[in-house]
Amino acid sequence: MAIRRSRIVVAAFCCLFAIAASATAECLWVLWGRESASEAWTPRDSFATEAKCRQGLLDLGNEVHRKARELRRPDLVRQDYFECWPDPVDPRGPKGK
């Protein structure tokens, strides 16, 4: 009886671990931009993987690509610093109530 109970506990733990690992792997990545004057962070774009977010970050270094994106979102022109963060992370800090 004790062996069966321990097997159930181990199986439940393995299931929880598998769910947590798959949830982490599937999270979105957000490319954030920061304005130097106000230090305000704004989400610029979201990506399915960290690698794609990093590629989006590199694309911002391409002046032609960046100007084309800023034509669609003129509010992003003043941003001069960029970072990729997993979706649950918000560089603006905790939200107040």
97 residues of the chain, pLDDT tens digit each: 556 554 544 444 444 344 434 444 578 999 998 887 788 898 989 999 999 999 998 888 777 677 777 777 666 667 778 899 999 998 888 876 6
The model's pLDDT over 26-40, given as tens digits with 9 standing for 90+, comes to 789 999 988 877 888
Contacts of 31 (CB under 8 A, 6+ apart): 43, 44, 45, 46, 47, 53, 56, 57, 82, 83, 84
Region of 86 (left: φ > 0; alpha: ψ -120 to 50; beta: rest) is: beta
Q: Cα separation of 82 and 97, whole Å?
A: 27
Q: What's the pLDDT score for residue 68? A: 73
